[in-house]
């Protein structure tokens, strides 16, 4: 049997890079029910407000919204924002626990995707940005955009 190919990104947290400096990333598996994975494969997930915590040596994600599957069991609806367990190695959890205890650090979900048939969540260790950091990042992005625009104009004139 051949290797299953990597799937597309199902949900992405675009505000994470705006609000945090992402210092390290980890790929975690998720414990999901059958209807949740079907809904997730349909792209019906949102991780914009999600965050991760570590309790009793286990890591959990909170406020990750997975819409109920339409063709699923209507008599047993699941809570769309229930707390879900993440699967990581103990060493990775211990490292994350130690680093996230520091002031200004948080465990931030970055994106949800399918790899080899399994739903994966990319989490990052993020250090919160201050307001001046956000302005500095925006200024750098605008300057880079102006440089690219000037180079394109110069290339048009040269032709």
- Position 6 scores a pLDDT of 59
Distance in angstroms (rounded) separating the CA atoms of residues 14 and 11: 9
Number of H helices, E strands in the chain: 4, 9
Cβ atoms < 10 Å from Cβ of 104: 11
Residues 51-72: tens digit of each pLDDT: 999 999 999 999 999 888 878 7
Q: What percent of the chain has pLDDT over 70?
A: 92
Under 8 Å between Cβ of 93 and 125: no
Residue 72: other Cβ atoms inside 10 A? 16
Average pLDDT over residues 9-30: 89
Q: For residue range 31-44, what is the model confidence (pLDDT) as tens digits?
A: 988 888 888 888 88
């Amino acid at each position: 049997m051949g290797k299953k190919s990597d799937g597309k990104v199902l949900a992405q947290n675009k505000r994470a890079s705006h609000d945090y400096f992402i210092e390290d990333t980890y790929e975690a598996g998720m414990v999901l029910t059958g209807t949740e994975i079907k809904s997730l494969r349909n792209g019906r997930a949102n991780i914009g407000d999600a965050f991760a915590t570590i309790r009793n040596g286990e890591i959990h994600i909170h406020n990750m919204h997975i819409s109920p599957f339409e063709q699923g069991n209507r008599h047993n609806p699941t809570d769309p924002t229930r707390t879900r367990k993440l699967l990581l190695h103990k060493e990775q959890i211990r490292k994350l626990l130690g680093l996230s205890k520091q002031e200004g650090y948080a465990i931030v979900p970055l994106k949800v995707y399918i790899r080899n048939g399994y739903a994966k969540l990319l989490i990052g260790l993020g250090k919160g940005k201050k307001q001046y950091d956000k302005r500095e990042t925006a200024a750098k992005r605008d300057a880079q955009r102006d440089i690219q625009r000037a180079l394109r104009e110069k290339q048009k004139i040269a032709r």
